[in-house]
Structure 1
Amino acid sequence: MDVKELMIDALENLDDEDFKKFNWQLWNGVETGINPIPKAKLQKADRSDVVDCLVDKYSDEAGKITVQALRKINQNHRAKILESKLQGVQQSDQVDGRNASVSVEDQPIQSDWSRPDTIKQSSQEFKRTTLRDKKDDVYIPKDKSQRKRSALLITNIRFKHSKYNRDGAERDEENMEWLLEALDYRVKKYRDLTGQEISARVEDFAARPEHKDSDSTFVVLMSHGNRIQNKDAILGVDYHHQQNPDDFFFVDNIFSNLNSEKCPALIDKPKVILIQACRGEHTGGVDIQSDSAVSDSAVHIEKDFFCFKSCLPGIYAYRDSVEGSFFICYIVDVFCKQAHTDDIMELFRKVTLRMATDPRFRSLKKLMPCIDRTSPPKKLYLFPGL
């Protein structure tokens, strides 16, 4: 049995009254320091639904919290049995070289997804081993006490012409700011900018003196977008397809402002670009009618970029009007659960895998993120918490 099956089996052995008591523990937080699951999610939930809520909320800690809740309702014998079985699964996974929750984490997120409460912390041992064994293949981070990491976050939500408003993007902004701060970046945040203002903020950010004391940076742009002059463009808040079609910012300008010539303070340092924006008007699906680095006096003009975009060229980037963009939700979820051991390209791959199999995108509506204009000679580990 996997972890979820063990948890379901434990709850199936509870009578209805004890099951109610168990759920009461969950929506009251089990104990200090464990955030509760909202009562509304549990009131009509059956046992498998409750397990899904536990895994969505607590990830790898779900089994442990189930054991704690069982003890709280004096089901000590069942708690002991579950704890023993969970330890057996963990030991088996260690032998096999797999993590027990990988199968869960590789699945599409649920429609009621909420941001994890914490980001998993890398261990000192993992960091030390990685930097020792892969020292020539990874970007070496600066000591936390000495570095000054900065990130730029621009989100367009309310537009001059209200038909362009991006409902739900407030959640994207909130989630991305939280994630960047959890990764130890000081976030410069701007909202509702014109194309010209976006350009100015990117230029200002490239000139920030703290990049000299940084080891990496993030730039996150979230707005409407389109392909203009065969380039990816971010639309400003004054944009109108007829009245003001020239209010936009070319994504390429991020690279030209942060490259080695314009931003020498970031030479040989990772620059992660995340773009949540449409890249055209195609739905993303088609009908198939068939059966089947050491620096010297010269440097590369553009290097060390990691660029991840919400969709393929020419395709819509879908967004939920309440929970925000699917791309941002997946990034936050994957980074929180797996950035403690995976490098950033592997994180991007896992986001892509999960989005590609999301059942909400059926028929012609398809959403596939895209790694674009990426030039890293080394692996980037974020080592959250360190």
Structure 2
Amino acid sequence: MDATKKLILDALEEIVNADFKRFIWHLWNGVGSDIEPIPQARLENVDRQDVVDRMVEKYSTNAGTVAVQVLLNINQNSLAKKLDLKLQEVQQPEPEDRRNASVSVEDQPIQSDWKRPHSITQSSQEFKRTTLRENGNNVYIPMDKSQRKRLALLITNIRFKNSEYNRRGAERDEENMEWLLTALGYRVEKYRDLTGQEISARVEKFAARPEHKDSDSTFVVLMSHGDIIQNKDAILGVNYDEVENPDDFFFVDDIFCSLNSEKCPALIDKPKVILIQACRGEHLGGVKIQSDSAVHREKDFVCFKSCLPGIGAYRHPVEGSFFICYILDVFCKQAHTDDIMELFRKVTLRMEKDPRFKHAELRKDEFAKLMPCIDRTSLPKKLYLFPGL
């Protein structure tokens, strides 16, 4: 903790008095929607050392992350990046025990200096032939690469009408997901900063695309703020305001309705992968322990969400969402041999072990924890992505 306090103090000593006053202003007026402010009375007539002490008292081991966010709020982006890198250097790794000793490097949490892999490991023709031959009807059969027209839909909300909702770092998520989907052979339809009604329209239009007839699968990725509304998962539109415009949202369930057998017959019997990076509530995720023939209306879906019901998702203000980073890392290294459910399991395993959430207490008796969730799954077969083939 002493090392963290020194790094924050060093950063504050690099800013002029006017910016220091703005830094304090953000601390008592609210750093972000998911970070409790420090009472103004605790920040009156304080110097830089006092501010660091108040932050550690309030945010404990998460004080460094809060400092980075405030620096971003006052447009000290370079200093925020510098502080973040130094904080990662002093972060203590989780002690290895017998549970982890036999786990491969690929199953461990991503490191603090993680960067997107330069490329995705490609499947071999031999692996593909063997997998299809040995598994028969238990695997979705991919179409020939030269004939298929794979499409993916990517919607990312970053800037909101209420600037306090802006999602810093989400640009990196958008860049990473577009890169991954393209590497997997999908042509990406990308949209940014949509209202709930616009999201609905884009999803419906995407479902009607004729190219799906010549495709063997699809991805739909939605990244925004989220909440539970009317007991359903909702994606918030860019004009959402809890008081002035509470109806600007899109229900996640509507994706399934738009892409089901009735509304999108071109994707019947073809896997539809839904990825959702959004909060599902405000809890932190951890507490102190005490045709002629009938077809299924909805089938061949799998939905992977960034967090459990009622829990908030976490996003780094520079590098993007933890959920998206793990998907990139696991898919790039292991999609050449693992089916998609195994890939999702490995993402979950590694996120569960991430030491950054081990002792991050943001509220009394409530700790930051992040566990993704597979939801509403109806895949009767294994889906291999066979990257490169």
Class of the TM-score when normalised by the shorter of the 2 chains: 0.7 to 0.9
User: Which secondary structure state, in structure 1, belongs to the residue aligned with residue 356 of structure 2?
Assistant: coil
Counterpart in 1 of 2:327?
331
- Distance in 2 (alpha carbons) for counterparts of 1:296 and 1:235: 40
Alpha-carbon spacing, 1:182–1:102, altered in 2? closer, same or farther (3 Å): farther
User: Which secondary structure state, in structure 1, belongs to the residue aligned with residue 355 of structure 2?
Assistant: coil
User: Which secondary structure state, in structure 1, belongs to the residue aligned with residue 336 of structure 2?
Assistant: coil
- Shift of residue 362, structure 1, vs aligned partner: 2.0
User: Which secondary structure state, in structure 1, belongs to the residue aligned with residue 205 of structure 2?
Assistant: helix
TM-score by length of 2: 0.72
1:311 and 2:312 are equivalent in the alignment: no
Q: Which runs of 4+ in 1 moved over 3 A?
A: none
Which one of 373, 382, 388 corresponds to residue 370 of structure 1? 373
Counterpart in 1 of 2:247?
246
Structure 1: 5+ residue stretches without partners? 1-40, 42-48, 50-100, 290-294
Measured against aligned partners, the alpha-carbon deviations of 1:31-51 in whole angstroms (never above 9, x if no partner) come to: xxxxxxxxxx9xxxxxxx9xx
- Shift of residue 158, structure 1, vs aligned partner: 0.4
Counterpart in 2 of 1:8?
none
- Distance in 2 (alpha carbons) for counterparts of 1:113 and 1:309: 22
Alpha-carbon spacing, 1:151–1:102, altered in 2? closer, same or farther (3 Å): farther
- Distance in 1 (alpha carbons) for counterparts of 2:202 and 2:385: 25
Measured against aligned partners, the alpha-carbon deviations of 1:39-68 in whole angstroms (never above 9, x if no partner) come to: xx9xxxxxxx9xxxxxxxxxxxxxxxxxxx
Measured against aligned partners, the alpha-carbon deviations of 1:187-225 in whole angstroms (never above 9, x if no partner) come to: 000000000000000000000000000000000000000
Task: Show the 5 A alignment for 1:371-386.
Answer: 371-386=374-389
Counterpart in 1 of 2:227?
226
Counterpart in 2 of 1:83?
none
1:349 and 2:350 are equivalent in the alignment: no
User: Which secondary structure state, in structure 2, belongs to the residue aligned with residue 204 of structure 1?
Assistant: helix
- Distance in 2 (alpha carbons) for counterparts of 1:229 and 1:147: 39
- Distance in 2 (alpha carbons) for counterparts of 1:114 and 1:288: 34
User: Which secondary structure state, in structure 1, belongs to the residue aligned with residue 211 of structure 2?
Assistant: helix
- Distance in 2 (alpha carbons) for counterparts of 1:144 and 1:336: 19
- Distance in 1 (alpha carbons) for counterparts of 2:193 and 2:176: 17
Match for 1:163: what amino acid?
Answer: E
1:189 and 2:193 are equivalent in the alignment: no
- Shift of residue 296, structure 1, vs aligned partner: 6.2
- Shift of residue 110, structure 1, vs aligned partner: 1.4
1:111 and 2:112 are equivalent in the alignment: yes
Match for 1:312: what amino acid?
Answer: L
User: Which secondary structure state, in structure 2, belongs to the residue aligned with residue 181 of structure 1?
Assistant: helix
Counterpart in 1 of 2:296?
300
Alpha-carbon spacing, 1:296–1:350, altered in 2? closer, same or farther (3 Å): farther
- Shift of residue 320, structure 1, vs aligned partner: 0.2
- Shift of residue 112, structure 1, vs aligned partner: 1.9
- Shift of residue 102, structure 1, vs aligned partner: 6.6
- Distance in 1 (alpha carbons) for counterparts of 2:208 and 2:113: 40
- Distance in 2 (alpha carbons) for counterparts of 1:206 and 1:151: 10
Counterpart in 2 of 1:45?
none
- Distance in 2 (alpha carbons) for counterparts of 1:297 and 1:150: 27
